[in-house]
A and B are shown apart, each in its own frame.
Chain A
Amino acid sequence: MAQPVLEISQLKLHFFTDKGRVKAVDGVDLAVHEGEIVGLVGESGCGKSVTSLAVMGLIPQPPGKVVAGTIRFQGKDLTKASPREMRRIRGNEMAMIFQEPMTSLNPLFSIGNQLVEAIRTHRSCSKQEAKNMALEMLKKVGISRSGILDEYPHQLSGGMRQRVMIAMAMVLNPRLLIADEPTTALDVTIQAQILDLMKALNQEFGTAILLITHDLGVVAEMCDRVVVMYAGQVVEETDRRRLFRNPKHPYTQGLLKSIPKLEEQKKRLYSIPGQVPNPLGMPKGCRFAPRCEFAFDVCGRAEPQLLPVEDGHLSRCWLHQEREEGRGHEPDHAIAQSQ
């Protein structure tokens, strides 16, 4: 396969707080190829946003620091890029739709001002041309009111702010688009419109897209491959069909079971028992072990690796890994599970 547009290898990103070291990203591998849409899902706080902010070079430092690993963008290691280089790449070749629009829209400037500024930083064009580009793009994301360029972020609804950001990220046709929960504030009809727009960008220009979302319906509709994270690590990676039909890792299985479904009515939803581990004190062995219904002796002792279960399907779980030292026999449910 051709070289990926984005290739993250063994990335470790830690926050050094006065309470200790938070290992927010702890050895993550992830690749996105040209023309591909990769989904990134996982428990809240597992490190999805931090991973993508690291790619963008937007981790506040201190307290954050990339302590190991590489982030290659079109072959170039971004962990070694200068701030000036990052500014050139960001917003132009690589753009991000942020999870919380208010963190990236400046409340003091009008929408037009911010969009025009973003365009003119990277393209030599007149103010009027930039304005036209901005209006065109805003229309594509479903905002067509004429005065929009003169409005300020606080005058817009949550979903409108999100769409302004989407417009800002897409207007320059990046090679890589990172979309962090791009449609959480949108209703489904507009969500469908935005997702179609992202798909069109992807198909027409081969834009590589990393789509972070907790909406598994969106994953099912959009993604070619899916990467599942838990507690700072990748625990499963496979194509879309196998993720839904044959999830291997117990965490992924729990995630799929937790979705409220339109066609069924339950009094209580399934929820994975227990809590996300404290990032300052990760459990020994498998990080999911304290919450895993299949956990057995080795899980609490040794950390499983992310290994292929079959071709193109990786899982980080002792249920599917050879135990070289022959530690006891597999429990029946475990065997049933892995078949």
Chain B
Amino acid sequence: MSQTTPLLKVSNLKKTFPVRGGIFGKKVGEITAVDDVTFSVKKGETLGIVGESGCGKSTTGRTVLRLYEPDSGQVEFEGKSLLALGDEEMRRARKDLQMIFQDPFASLNPRQKVAEILEEPLIVHKMGDAKERKAQVQELLRVVGLDKSHAGRYPHQFSGGQRQRIGIARALSTRPKLIVADEPVSALDVSIQSQVLNLMADLQEQFELTYLFISHDLSVVKHISDRVGVMYLGRMVELADRDELYRQPLHPYTQALLSAVPVPDPEVKKERIILQGDVPSPADPPKGCAFHPRCPHVMEICKVERPAFADQGGGHFVACHLMDRS
């Protein structure tokens, strides 16, 4: 693999879900959860993804790992198309591709003890003998800050944050190359959050891990990411180096988002950009720029023409007609 090949390259990814209705469950429409999304991630890099609830972050993450099959587009991992792999090859590839799920409760088998949950991926991928696996499970628990005694418990016996850490430990178990982390710290209090973020940074350094880090917490994303992508209604609307994005957000949605971050200081009053209007439905996205009904800078062209996702220089991508004017 040459220096310039990214570890993960996603091009024009699109994923729709059917909307069913009526007594016969007929397909009556379609939700475009991910709409023409393009980005790449270098080895050892962290790409943060932020955006409105329901904008397609989780679906993007799942489709990249082929937990969902895309409608169209391309996903390349280490220069090879993931979409071309057969079942068996894909199964083997999963050792390198792991996911930390947003909803830990729904993603952990309630009938398995924690030790079994953590050991299972090791068995599936034939890693180590029984003794080594047991040691590995203990090590994983230690790494995510859980007690040895927790190994024999079931998921429902844990608090929300503890369950999230079980999910993180499971994702780490096969020593993957890419981890799609879907809101990995949103269930954690700040002191454990800082432990997990430090942990993820350490593991990244140690194993040259690559992260696709999905979160709605802009402070956390700023802390951990090298680059950040902002999604709105299934589309990527801005993508830039971390410092650049936070210093000079160009898309009006990104600007509103950054202005709404609550500040942990009761005496600081921030000037919030209040967005007007409701979040539109992905089953019936607005024409032109999907953000136009809520955009404080909307122009006529925004209502009819979809803005291109274009590089404004130095890898700062923006999809907004305001860019054409300057």
Which A residues lie at the B interface, using CB under 8 A?
Answer: 15, 17, 19, 41-45, 49-50, 99-103, 139, 142-147, 150, 155-160, 162-163, 181, 184-192, 214-221, 240-241, 244, 254-256, 258-262, 265-266, 268-272, 275-276, 278, 280
Closest A residue to B106 by beta carbon equals A102
The answer to whether B220 touches A190 (Cβ under 8 A) is no
The answer to whether A188 touches B264 (Cβ under 8 A) is no
The answer to whether A192 touches B161 (Cβ under 8 A) is no
B235: min CB distance to chain A, Å = 15
Chain B, 278-317, CB within 8 A of any chain A CB: 278-279, 281, 283-284
The answer to whether A220 touches B263 (Cβ under 8 A) is yes
Q: A155 — which chain B residues lie within 8 A by C-beta?
A: 17
The answer to whether A259 touches B219 (Cβ under 8 A) is yes
Q: Which of B159, B183, B194, B246 contacts A258 (CB 8 A)?
A: B194
B204: min CB distance to chain A, Å = 12
Chain B, 158-211, CB within 8 A of any chain A CB: 158-162, 183, 186-195, 197-198, 201
B159: min CB distance to chain A, Å = 4
The answer to whether A275 touches B223 (Cβ under 8 A) is no
B320: min CB distance to chain A, Å = 17
Tell me if B323 counts as interface (CB < 8 A to partner A).
no
Q: A157 — which chain B residues lie within 8 A by C-beta?
A: 53-54, 58
The answer to whether B192 touches A43 (Cβ under 8 A) is yes
A258 to B152, CA, bound (A): 31
The answer to whether B53 touches A187 (Cβ under 8 A) is yes
Closest A residue to B31 by beta carbon equals A155
Q: A146 — which chain B residues lie within 8 A by C-beta?
A: 281
Pairs across A and B, CB under 8 Å, 17 listed: A44-B162, A45-B158, A45-B159, A49-B160, A144-B278, A144-B279, A145-B283, A147-B21, A184-B187, A187-B55, A190-B279, A215-B217, A220-B262, A255-B190, A260-B222, A262-B222, A278-B147
Q: Which of B58, B102, B188, B261 contacts A44 (CB 8 A)?
A: B188
A19 to B114, CA, bound (A): 15
Q: B220 — which chain A residues lie within 8 A by C-beta?
A: 260
Closest 3 CB pairs of A and B: A159-B53, A44-B161, A217-B262
In the complex with contacts A159-B53, A184-B187, A186-B216, A103-B264 CB distance below 8 A: no
A314 to B107, CA, bound (A): 40
* Supplied contacts A145-B284, A214-B188, A217-B262, 9 more A-B pairs, CB within 8 Å: A45-B161, A147-B19, A147-B29, A150-B21, A159-B54, A244-B265, A265-B222, A266-B223, A271-B194
A160 to B59, CA, bound (A): 14
A155 to B183, CA, bound (A): 18
Closest B residue to A100 by beta carbon equals B105
The answer to whether A221 touches B262 (Cβ under 8 A) is yes
Tell me if B52 counts as interface (CB < 8 A to partner A).
yes
A258 to B219, CA, bound (A): 12
Tell me if B50 counts as interface (CB < 8 A to partner A).
yes
Which B residues lie at the A interface, using CB under 8 A?
Answer: 17, 19, 21, 29, 50-55, 58, 102-106, 145, 147, 149, 152-153, 157-162, 183, 186-195, 197-198, 201, 216-220, 222-223, 243, 246, 256-258, 260-268, 272, 275, 278-279, 281, 283-284
Closest A residue to B182 by beta carbon equals A158
Q: B243 — which chain A residues lie within 8 A by C-beta?
A: 265
B124: min CB distance to chain A, Å = 25
In the complex with contacts A147-B283, A217-B263, A220-B266, A43-B189 CB distance below 8 A: yes
The answer to whether A271 touches B160 (Cβ under 8 A) is no
A43: min CB distance to chain B, Å = 5
Q: A19 — which chain B residues lie within 8 A by C-beta?
A: 149, 152-153
Q: A142 — which chain B residues lie within 8 A by C-beta?
A: 278-279
The answer to whether B190 touches A216 (Cβ under 8 A) is yes
Q: A254 — which chain B residues lie within 8 A by C-beta?
A: 191
The answer to whether B257 touches A100 (Cβ under 8 A) is no
Q: A189 — which chain B residues lie within 8 A by C-beta?
A: 52, 256-257, 260, 275
Closest A residue to B147 by beta carbon equals A278
Q: A50 — which chain B residues lie within 8 A by C-beta?
A: 159
Q: A150 — which chain B residues lie within 8 A by C-beta?
A: 21
The answer to whether A188 touches B266 (Cβ under 8 A) is no
The answer to whether B52 touches A259 (Cβ under 8 A) is no
A100 to B153, CA, bound (A): 19
Q: B188 — which chain A residues lie within 8 A by C-beta?
A: 44, 214
